[in-house]
A and B are shown apart, each in its own frame.
Chain A
Amino acid sequence: MTAVDLRVAQRPNAPMTTYRYDEYDAAFVSERVAEFREQVNRRLSGALTEEEFRPFRLMNGLYLQLHAYMLRVAIPYGTLTARQMRRLADIADRWDKGYGHFTTRQNLQYNWPKLVDTPDILESLADVEMHAIQTSGNCIRNVTADHFAGVAPDEIEDPRPTAEFLRQWSSLHSEFSFLPRKFKIAVTGAAHDRAAILVHDIGLRVVKNDTGEIGYQVVVGGGLGRSPFIGKVVGDFVPREDLLAFLEAILRVYNRFGRRDNKYKARVKILVHEKGIDEIRAAVEAEFAAMDRSAFDHDPEEFARIAAFFAPPPYESLPATSALLRAAKLETPAFANFVDVNVGAHKIPGYAIVTVSLKPIGGVPGDATSEQMRVLAEASERFGFGELRVSHEQNIILPHVKQDDLFALWSMLDAAGLATANAGLVSDIISCPGLDYCSLATARSIPIAQAISKRFSDMSRQRRIGKLGVKISGCINACGHHHVGAIGILGLEKKGQESYQITLGGDPTFSASIGEILGPGVTAEQVPDVVEHLVDYYLAEREEGEAFIDTWRRIGHARFKDVLRREGEDGADI
């Protein structure tokens, strides 16, 4: 056995691989905490009514949920340091019930904070350069990015400097803090879209033009919710120096002309849909041309300042493959499975990207206990330069692990119940909190995810099925991204009963598509049966190398509909 001794595993001093606050950032966030503390006091004294308080608490991430307040903490572009992860654990212990929930937009939610404690929680976050600013409300939300940023082999440029640049620009924007509705921006710099940019209000894709100059393809009007839309290109190549001005032009057009008569029609996707992308593009271009762009003149310098923070860590020079890894895989099949499923290629030879699944069989998708958070922090320090990522699939990523260290890392994760080898498989389910927590929900989501996960608890069967995105939302607001699940599940309420609508063929990547409805809704108990039938049919029909969505695209929706109808006639009760 070639096991790595955990006690002597390397523990490099955590280098700086992400943005650090300067004095201005620190002052800003602490002023924000002080302002919120005063807002809470004024709410309690009656100076602010609940209606008046609402947008301000939301802009600080504080929701009123079904049972309690919920605090949503921003993890900008999904990057966390070990120290920050430990602080999240400490907050969970001190002010919540010892756990947190990682969301689909690179945020962490605490489900049980008290209103009066939230200023202290925010202060504790500010102490480690974190905040809950604009994780909610009708403003520009936490800017998200590819969770493999900076380490993916298919990358043109690390999208995080852009995301940080936008985080700052959008923070407490004088003009754009009272928009018709929420506004979400996602950035990717890679050939494969892992940030779901086509279903964001604005999606940015770093591109290179013919002369090798870096710019952005700007997509507008994507979104899920009750009316799902794939975003449309509004700017094919926006040079970097024009990015802020161009975004400001889009936001100004949206702020002025986005619908405010009906909150369900207020997102920019509806404006784009109703006016048409050509009219919107013309309006944005006209606004851009009319702007005083001198205000943005010197931003390249600021961009370079920010980009310098995201320098690669001091990688060692290693062979492309690891003999240690090969031997450990032969020795320990469970580890081999973990490597095959949860470990991805890294742009640096000898390193790997590790996905730590927060989807244990039968567990709550995205939940992590404070103890698990501490293990993850520790693991990142021992094996990954002290850096962690949060993915929109609600998992944690260790972005820089030496292949030689994988076995030691796996052993550590396994001992903490964090080694579920299901990244991207049928039990790696995205789910919203649903009726168990959320005041908007019309049905439960988490128990459905748990039931499906248990149904497919045989891991070898999961591996045989391969990549399959199952996504569950507990209401039409679609926080669980069901529209872009290869199998999407939407919980509704019909005559006092939960009813689940199944869709097939959703895809959140550059080949984005919105799922199509399979048929009439089914009961909660029937959902795992339906999913199982669909999966079995796919397994019977698939050709070599096809994922579920490929087979569905090839043979068509009607065939999948038929099979369920036939199963129903055979007495399968669906």
Chain B
Amino acid sequence: MALISDGRFIEDAWRRLADEEALPKTGKFIVSLPRLEHAVEVLGPTATFGVIIPNTTEPSALIAALPRLDLISIAFPAFADGRGFSLARLLRRAAFKGELRASGRLVADQYPHAIGCGFDTIEIPDDLAERQDEGQWRAALNAYSMSYQRGYAGRGSILEARRKAVRS
């Protein structure tokens, strides 16, 4: 897997735990959703862990665990399945401040969408990363100077800019 952050391919500091693997004492690791409740119960307040969730997850199912989570990875079963974008928005609305990761076969052209909805990082398979190199991801990040929506992250809002122009 390759990880993209701020338009660069970076080393992944996180490790995805297999379900049969015991919870480690140290390090950054990601558990599956069914193990989350147990992990929250047994891990101490200093443990650094995250969860990977299907894009159909109800945000309410995570609310209790949110303050404990340092990372939430949302699985994209197909790159054109946009449910993860709305889920990311809802998790940000629920005040999740940790790393939000999109995991799946997302293509570089979706990068601005992901950033806009609150994702920090994108995790893609190696074969995809080979075809779509860092340059393409960075270009996608800079493809648009502004956006027409307001309240979405990343680019500046055209609506805000117009408002400023009227009032100055």
Interface residues of A in 152-193 (CB under 8 A from B): 168-179
A-B contact pairs, 15 of them (CB 8 A): A24-B161, A34-B143, A38-B139, A47-B131, A48-B109, A174-B85, A175-B152, A176-B82, A252-B86, A255-B85, A255-B86, A296-B150, A301-B163, A302-B159, A305-B162
Q: Give the interface of A toward B (CB within 8 A).
A: 22, 24-25, 27-28, 31-32, 34-35, 38-39, 42, 46-49, 52, 55-56, 138, 168-179, 252, 255-256, 260, 290-292, 294-296, 298-299, 301-302, 305
- A175 touching B143 by the CB < 8 A rule? no
Find chain B residues with CB under 8 A from A169 CB. 148-149
- A52 touching B107 by the CB < 8 A rule? yes
- B93 touching A290 by the CB < 8 A rule? yes
Find chain B residues with CB under 8 A from A56 CB. 109
- Complex alpha-carbon distance, A292 and B162, angstroms: 21
B129 nearest CB across to chain A (Å): 11
- Complex alpha-carbon distance, A172 and B155, angstroms: 12
- Complex alpha-carbon distance, A290 and B95, angstroms: 13
- Complex alpha-carbon distance, A170 and B148, angstroms: 8
B165 nearest CB across to chain A (Å): 9
- B143 touching A31 by the CB < 8 A rule? yes
- Complex alpha-carbon distance, A70 and B131, angstroms: 27
A246 nearest CB across to chain B (Å): 15
- A172 touching B148 by the CB < 8 A rule? yes
Q: Chain A residue with minimal CB distance to B165? A: A22
Find chain B residues with CB under 8 A from A302 CB. 159, 162-163
- B147 touching A301 by the CB < 8 A rule? no
- B82 touching A177 by the CB < 8 A rule? yes
- B162 touching A138 by the CB < 8 A rule? no
Q: Chain A residue with minimal CB distance to B82? A: A178
- B85 touching A178 by the CB < 8 A rule? yes
Please, what's the 1-or-0 string for B151-165, where 1 marks a CB less than 8 Å from any CB in chain A? 110100011011100
Q: Chain A residue with minimal CB distance to B89? A: A175
Looking at B18-26, B37-45, B111-119, the stretch in contact with chain A turns out to be B111-119
- Complex alpha-carbon distance, A38 and B139, angstroms: 10
B4 nearest CB across to chain A (Å): 15
Q: Does B83 sit at the interface, judged by CB under 8 A?
A: yes
- B149 touching A174 by the CB < 8 A rule? yes
- B82 touching A292 by the CB < 8 A rule? no
- Complex alpha-carbon distance, A429 and B120, angstroms: 52
- B109 touching A175 by the CB < 8 A rule? no
- A48 touching B149 by the CB < 8 A rule? no
B145 nearest CB across to chain A (Å): 6
Given known pairs A24-B161, A255-B82, the reply for A175 and B116 (CB within 8 Å) is yes
**Residue from A31, A175, A290, A305 in contact with B117 in the complex, judged by beta carbons closer than 8 Å:** A175
- B166 touching A292 by the CB < 8 A rule? no
Given contacts A22-B162, A256-B83, 14 further A-B contacts (CB under 8 A): A24-B146, A24-B158, A28-B148, A47-B132, A48-B109, A171-B148, A172-B112, A175-B116, A177-B113, A178-B82, A178-B85, A255-B85, A260-B83, A298-B159
Find chain B residues with CB under 8 A from A178 CB. 79-82, 85, 110, 113
Given known pairs A47-B136, A52-B107, A255-B82, the reply for A174 and B162 (CB within 8 Å) is no
Interface residues on B, range: 35 or more
- A52 touching B113 by the CB < 8 A rule? no
- Closest 9 interchain pairs by CB? A174-B116, A178-B82, A295-B151, A24-B158, A168-B148, A35-B143, A255-B86, A174-B152, A295-B150
Given known pairs A47-B132, A52-B107, A55-B80, the reply for A174 and B147 (CB within 8 Å) is yes
- Complex alpha-carbon distance, A175 and B102, angstroms: 13
A286 nearest CB across to chain B (Å): 12
Interface of A, secondary structure class, is: helix
- Complex alpha-carbon distance, A42 and B148, angstroms: 26
**Residue from B113, B139, B159 in contact with A174 in the complex, judged by beta carbons closer than 8 Å:** B113
- Complex alpha-carbon distance, A260 and B131, angstroms: 27
B100 nearest CB across to chain A (Å): 13
B5 nearest CB across to chain A (Å): 18
Q: Chain A residue with minimal CB distance to B167? A: A301
A138 nearest CB across to chain B (Å): 7
Q: Does B122 sit at the interface, judged by CB under 8 A?
A: no
- Complex alpha-carbon distance, A255 and B113, angstroms: 14
**Residue from B86, B136, B145 in contact with A256 in the complex, judged by beta carbons closer than 8 Å:** B86
A137 nearest CB across to chain B (Å): 9
B85 nearest CB across to chain A (Å): 5
Given known pairs A52-B79, A138-B80, A168-B148, the reply for A174 and B93 (CB within 8 Å) is no
Find chain A residues with CB under 8 A from B158 CB. 24-25, 28, 168
- B81 touching A299 by the CB < 8 A rule? no
A351 nearest CB across to chain B (Å): 33
Q: Chain B residue with minimal CB distance to A171? A: B148
Q: Chain A residue with minimal CB distance to B114? A: A174
Find chain B residues with CB under 8 A from A171 CB. 148
**Residue from A168, A176, A256, A295 in contact with B87 in the complex, judged by beta carbons closer than 8 Å:** A256
Which residue, of A42, A179, A256, has the highest number of chain B Cβ atoms within 10 A? A256
Find chain B residues with CB under 8 A from A52 CB. 79, 107
- Complex alpha-carbon distance, A175 and B83, angstroms: 9
Find chain B residues with CB under 8 A from A173 CB. 148-149
- Complex alpha-carbon distance, A466 and B50, angstroms: 69
Please, what's the 1-or-0 string for B12-31, where 1 marks a CB less than 8 Å from any CB in chain A? 00000000000000000000
Find chain A residues with CB under 8 A from B110 CB. 178
Find chain B residues with CB under 8 A from A46 CB. 131
Find chain A residues with CB under 8 A from B107 CB. 48, 52
Which residue, of B79, B83, B139, has the highest number of chain A Cβ atoms within 10 A? B83
Interface residues of B in 89-143 (CB under 8 A from A): 89, 93, 107, 109-110, 112-113, 115-117, 131-132, 136, 139, 143
Q: Chain B residue with minimal CB distance to A42? A: B136
Find chain B residues with CB under 8 A from A170 CB. 148
Q: Chain B residue with minimal CB distance to A256? A: B86
A423 nearest CB across to chain B (Å): 36
- Complex alpha-carbon distance, A169 and B145, angstroms: 16
A292 nearest CB across to chain B (Å): 7
A42 nearest CB across to chain B (Å): 7
A173 nearest CB across to chain B (Å): 6
B123 nearest CB across to chain A (Å): 17
- A175 touching B113 by the CB < 8 A rule? yes
- Complex alpha-carbon distance, A55 and B81, angstroms: 11
- Complex alpha-carbon distance, A52 and B105, angstroms: 10
A136 nearest CB across to chain B (Å): 13
A438 nearest CB across to chain B (Å): 22
Find chain A residues with CB under 8 A from B115 CB. 174
Find chain B residues with CB under 8 A from A34 CB. 143
Find chain B residues with CB under 8 A from A42 CB. 136
Q: Chain B residue with minimal CB distance to A137? A: B80
